[in-house]
Amino acid sequence: MAGWYVLDSTPLGSPEITALLVGIFWDVREVSLVSAIFAFACVFCLAMASVASIILRKQPQKALKAGTAITLTASLLGAAASVWALVSKFEDSYETLWSTALGPFTIGLDPLSSFFLLCVFLVGGLAALYGYGYVKNHPEILKTVLVWFPILLFSMALVVVSSDAMTFLLAWELMTLSSFLLVTADGERTSKPGLVYLLASQLGVVALFAMFAILATGAGSLHFDDMRSAGQPAIAGVVFLLGLLGFGTKAGFWPVHVWLPLAHPAAPSQVSAVMSGVMIKLGIYGLLRMLTFLGTPNYWWGVVLIMIGTMSGMGGIIQAMAQDDLKRILAYSSVENLGIVALGLGLGVLGLSANNNIVATLGFAGALLHVLNHGLYKGLLFQSAGVILGSVKDLNQTGGLIRQMPVTGYVFLTGSAAITGVPTLNGFISELLIFVGAFYGATLLPASQSLWAVAVVPILATLGGLTAVTFVKIFGTAFLGTPRSDYEAKDTVGTMKIALLIGVTLCFIIGIFPAPFVVLVKLGVTPLVSEVQIPQRFFDFLVRLPFVFIGLGAIFALLIFIRRRLLQNREVRAGETWACGYESVSPKMQYTAASFADPALSPAHFLLDARRDDRPAKGAFPKDISYELRLGDRVTNLLWKPAVDFILALSTRTEKLKRSDVRSYLILVLITLVSLLLWQAWVS
């Protein structure tokens, strides 16, 4: 039945209700409309793949239109259902008609899964809208994207709503497979990055199998409700570390991040936006879901998360600063942003371990809001990069793009400001929540834990400064100055432009009117914190923040008006720019991306596996002067590259088995059967 729905039973007219415009909601707990809408959304996603595969061969353009329309419909319904379920605090689970020897497949919703569903459908819908125009310009990937992109969205949604370990792992593997096929959509050029991604993903899955095996043994069931009610297992620390390895690999935490800077640049731009904006965040969802199984956490779990967040943040942004490839820069910056999320999770776990709901709420809420914010502005950056790379491939060969592609330039500038944490944009709000949580942790937590909360403050501040340097480097090199080479740049148009402008609008809405979104993330953390608490003074500040921004904007506009009035009758004289004694200004006189970042990177060369090759000037008339600095990823070179090379060599040798005759296959089957029988006899 319809009626006014009140959040948290808070009296109408309180700041929370005033901040979040409450409309008329259906009582979904009775009619289960959320489940029905979500089911239809998933069916529509799968229907897109079916429609595309049927009509693709003869009418690919119609397949593209139909597929995009169905995906957008699914995303709109899914996002609406997610907000509906979140505001209504809807919780329920359902067993499917299909069953296996391990039990039936089970799906369900609670506020945590509803929040992540919102992220999946919001970012996925914008990427689908952008992808319509992008795929039209790249017909070679049309078939792969049409079939597997909606399946990727479906599998991510299924991961979030899975309520038993078997369904979760099947959805997790479907997500890995579909994203792998999308990464390798461009053929041979992307085969090795796809292989590295697949190997890293399977390493994570092995850890997840072990984690769920321990939990299921203690609970006597694969169902999440039984795992939750079983209480903390005896080896909870081992379960936590296994989950951290398994989910952290997908999230791209350092040092298991190696696949991320390879796979994201290789994928189509809208796929990169979804992988970076949503898919890696499902590793965060998995960590949070795991915490609900383990009861009150040990405080050292929070310390480990803060340490991982620090290493991921610093390692990711330093590597991003060292890159010249635009999409690799964005990929490494995702490692840095997931480090910020890990810092928020660490604060939340410290708060839970000390039974301090304020610190726990602020830490988890900041992490969840950063998940959403990063998905929005990283989508802007990856999709803008797709437009730029359609005209020029090397960042050091660009320059002056703002004059040829103004829309893309200002969209990229907005995304850069948001990721740096500039006020009035969404990145500022989520980092502010984590900052406030750290300050409260410094005063409210026990002494042994408060030191870790204090450490979060300078770490976040340092990450913000390094991020600003990185994105000033990108924007200044690509969009300002004069072109460094001859190229013709085309600005974004059509659905690509619409998707980018919607993303920009959402970034500003969350940044200027943060209170309703803080309420949403507050609802999202209710499965984690027994009594969700955000300090009233801080929330009142968020409610009044729009008026502060509007007032500052009015003052700024007034100053501009006064300046123009004072200068309107003054004579303007134009002259040649002084070029330091040169006859004319050359593009070679501009900073390149590498030269701009080198002073900040010099102290970190030992982390970057720096290799310098130069011939310095000698004599009065020097010749053959050269300088080359190659910066790599030391973790990749020392840890992952040997392992990947070994697996590739092993697979090359075993490839000979494909050319064997029938007798060889029969011998291998016989050896396998005998080995299994001997193992079974030894076990029994």
For the segment 169-194, what is each residue's pLDDT rounded down to a tens digit?
999 999 999 888 888 877 655 567 77
pLDDT at 18: 37
Would you state the pLDDT for residue 564? 85
Q: Is the pLDDT of residue 451 over 80?
A: yes
Q: What is the mean pLDDT of residues 240-252?
A: 92
Instruction: Answer whether residue 289 is part of any domain.
Output: no
pLDDT of residue 301: 93
Nearest to 329 by CA among 341, 338, 320: 320
| pLDDT beyond 60 at 555 | yes
Q: Are residues 273 and 391 in the same domain?
A: no
The pLDDT value recorded for residue 440 is 93
The secondary element (H helix, E strand) that includes residue 225 is helix 224-229
Residue 650, domain member (yes or no):
yes
Are residues 519 and 665 both part of a single domain?
no
Give me the mean pLDDT over the 341-346 stretch. 94
Q: Residue 38 is which amino acid?
A: F
Q: Mark whether 43 and 20 lie in a shared domain.
A: no
Indicate whether 2 pLDDT > 60.
Answer: no
Mean pLDDT of 640-667: 69
- Of 65-79, 396-410, 519-533, which one has max mean pLDDT? 519-533
Of the candidates 534, 556, 578, which is a domain's last residue?
A: 534
Residue 107 pLDDT > 60, yes or no?
yes
Contact 279, 180 (CB under 8 A): no
pLDDT exceeds 50 at position 23: no
> Phi and psi of 162, rounded to 5°?
-65, 135
Identify how many contiguous H helices and E strands the chain contains and give both numbers. 27, 6
Chain length of the chain:
684
Structurally, the chain folds into a number of domains equal to 4
19 has a pLDDT exceeding 50: no
pLDDT on residue 30: 40
577 domain-assigned: no
Same domain for 191 and 62? yes
| Domain boundary residue, one of 534, 561, 582 | 534
Q: Which two tokens stand for residue 343?
A: 């810092």
* Mean pLDDT to the nearest integer, 249-274: 86
Q: What is the predicted pLDDT for the residue at 505? A: 94
232 shares its domain with 304:
no
The predicted structure's pLDDT at residue 502:
94
Confidence of residue 484 (pLDDT cuts 50, 70, 90): confident
Same domain (yes/no): 145, 197: yes
Amino acid at 198: L
The answer to whether residue 345 scores a pLDDT higher than 60 is yes
Q: Tell me, yes or no, whether 332 lies in a domain.
A: yes
Pair 238, 349 in one domain: no
The pLDDT of residue 490: 80
Q: Do 162 and 221 fall within a single domain?
A: yes
Higher pLDDT, residue 225 or 684: 225
Same domain, 305 and 253: no
Domain membership of residue 625 (yes or no) is no
128-153 pLDDT, tens digit per residue, is 999 888 887 777 787 788 888 888 98
pLDDT score of 364: 94
SS (H, E, C) 351-412: HHHCCCHHHHHHHHHHHHHHHHHHHHHHHHHHHHHHHHHCCCCCHHHCCCHHHHCHHHHHHH
Is 551 among the domain residues? Answer: no
Q: Is 484 helix (H, G, I), strand (E, B) or coil?
A: coil
Q: Kindly report which listed range (38-42, 256-260, 405-409, 613-617) carries the lowest average pLDDT score.
A: 38-42
Greater pLDDT, 667 or 191: 667
Average pLDDT of the residues in 204-227: 88
The bridge status of strand 2-4 relative to strand 103-109 is unpaired
DSSP 10: P
pLDDT tier at 70, thresholds 50, 70, 90: confident
Mean predicted lDDT score pLDDT of the chain: 81
Distance CA(646)–CA(653), nearest Å, equals: 11
**What's residue 613's pLDDT?**
66
Mean pLDDT value of segment 268-295: 91
Domain co-membership, 268 together with 351:
no
Mean pLDDT (whole number) for 398-419: 88
How far, in Å, CA of 62 to CA of 48, rounded?
Answer: 12
How far from chain centre, in Å, is Cα 30?
Answer: 35
Does 104 map to a domain?
yes
Tell me the average pLDDT across 441-463: 90
- Does 238 lie in the same domain as 344? no
More confident residue, 14 or 426: 426
- Is 90 exceeded by the pLDDT of residue 360? yes
Confidence bin at 33 (pLDDT 50/70/90): low
> Rounded to an integer, what distance in angstroms lies between the CA atom of residue 141 and that of residue 187?
9
Banded model confidence at residue 606, pLDDT cuts 50, 70, 90: low
CA quadruple 669, 670, 675, 677: dihedral positive or negative? positive
In this predicted structure, what is the pLDDT of residue 37?
Answer: 56
pLDDT of res. 236:
86
pLDDT more than 70, % of the chain:
78
| 462 compared with 63, residue with greater pLDDT | 462
Q: Which of 167-176, 433-442, 631-640 has the lowest mean pLDDT?
A: 631-640
Say yes or no to pLDDT of 562 above 50: yes
Helix (H, G, I), strand (E, B) or coil at 625: coil
Tell me, what's the pLDDT at 1? Answer: 30
> Which contiguous run of DSSP H or E holds residue 611?
strand 611-615
pLDDT over threshold 80, residue 259? yes
Same domain, 449 and 496: yes
Percent with pLDDT over 90 in the chain: 30
Residue 629 lies in a domain: no
Range of the domain at 654: 638-683
What pLDDT sits at residue 46?
62
